[in-house]
Amino acid sequence: MSIVDSIFMRMFGRPQGMLGKFGGMIMARMNKAFTYSVIDLLDIQPNDKVLEVGFGSGVGIQRLSQLASAGYIAGIDYSQEMVAQATARNMAEIEAVRVDLRQGSVESLPFEDNTFDKALAVNSMQVWPDAVVGLREMRRVMKVGGRIALGFTSYSGQSNTGLTQILTTAGFTQARLVETDRGFCALAMA
Ligand SMILES: C[S@@+](CC[C@H](N)C(=O)[O-])C[C@H]1O[C@@H](n2cnc3c(N)ncnc32)[C@H](O)[C@@H]1O
């Protein structure tokens, strides 16, 4: 990996240390509107149980907890820095036990089968070690008929080619691609 790639990975891919803290602050500003647009595509209901993988700064978690006002929001992120940043941003809801943010990796989620109505990941899947393994694990913790959204900004580095096929390989159905003004989103059913 080149030095530039390594700096980008520490800032954005798997944020770490001071660079990661700074990267989180940048992502909170740059990706908020897009993250909200991905959440809109999930049609969140007040009682929904929702999982976000790779929540980063936690702006999406904050929005989800407003929309699922009587539900439950869980998040997993690989980065300790991002868990700290998102925890600070969502402290009141965490204390109210409506939001649960944990450090971990998508290929081993600490949740029971058939738990979540909706799930999402924004600008995250492109840095997972194995996308299909991660998506299979997300499907395991989703209810049958639950909805997943994978959003990517135009600068994420993820190609939209083959994305619906990856979802189908992981066991999701009705996979389709939606283009938005800032990027694209793949939607499917568990
Ligand atoms: C580019 S950031 C995107 C953050 C946020 N979703 C956004 O759009 O601003 C990628 C995030 O995915 C997380 N991540 C990377 N690999 C992961 C994995 N294997 N499991 C869970 N989270 C992961 C990173 O720690 C980071 O917070």
pTM of the model: 0.97
> Does 69 reside within a domain?
yes
What is the model's pLDDT at position 130?
Answer: 97
| Phi–psi pair at 4, nearest 5 degrees | -65, -45
Asked if residue 40 is part of any domain, the answer here is yes
In a domain, 73, yes or no: yes
Task: Give the number of the atom of ligand 1 that is nearest the alpha carbon of residue 82.
Answer: 27
What is the reported pLDDT for 181? 83
Q: What is the domain range of residue 74? A: 30-189
Does residue 21 form part of some domain? no
Residues 116 and 49 sit within 8 Å (Cβ to Cβ): yes
pLDDT band at 4 (very low <50, low <70, confident <90, very high): confident
- Say what percent of the chain tops pLDDT 70: 100
4 compared with 48, residue with greater pLDDT: 48
Q: Is the pLDDT of residue 1 over 80?
A: no
- DSSP per-residue string spanning the chain: --HHHHHHIIIIIS--HHHHHHHHHHHHHHSHHHHHHHHHHTT--TT-EEEEES-TTSHHHHHHHHHSTTSEEEEEES-HHHHHHHHHHTHHHHHTTSEEEEE--TTS-SS-TT-EEEEEEES-GGGSS-HHHHHHHHHHHEEEEEEEEEEEETTS---STTHHHHHHHTT-EEEEEEE-SSEEEEEEE-
How far, in Å, from the CA of 151 to the mean position of ligand 1? 12
Exposed e or buried b per residue across 22-39, where buried means at least 16 C-beta atoms within 10 angstroms of its C-beta = ebbeebbebbeebbebbb
Tens-place pLDDT, residues 96-109: 999 999 999 999 99
105 in a structural domain: yes
What CATH code is carried by the domain that includes residue 71?
3.40.50.150
Shortest-distance Cα residue to atom 11 of ligand 1: 54
| Average pLDDT for 134-155 | 97
In a domain, 88, yes or no: yes
Residue 3 reports pLDDT greater than 90: no
Expressed in angstroms and rounded, the spacing between residue 183 Cα and the centre of ligand 1 is 17
Residue 125 counted as domain residue: yes
Residue 91 pLDDT greater than 80, yes or no: yes
pLDDT band at 72 (very low <50, low <70, confident <90, very high): very high
Give me the number of domains the chain comprises. 1
12 found inside a domain? no
pLDDT of 47 reads 98
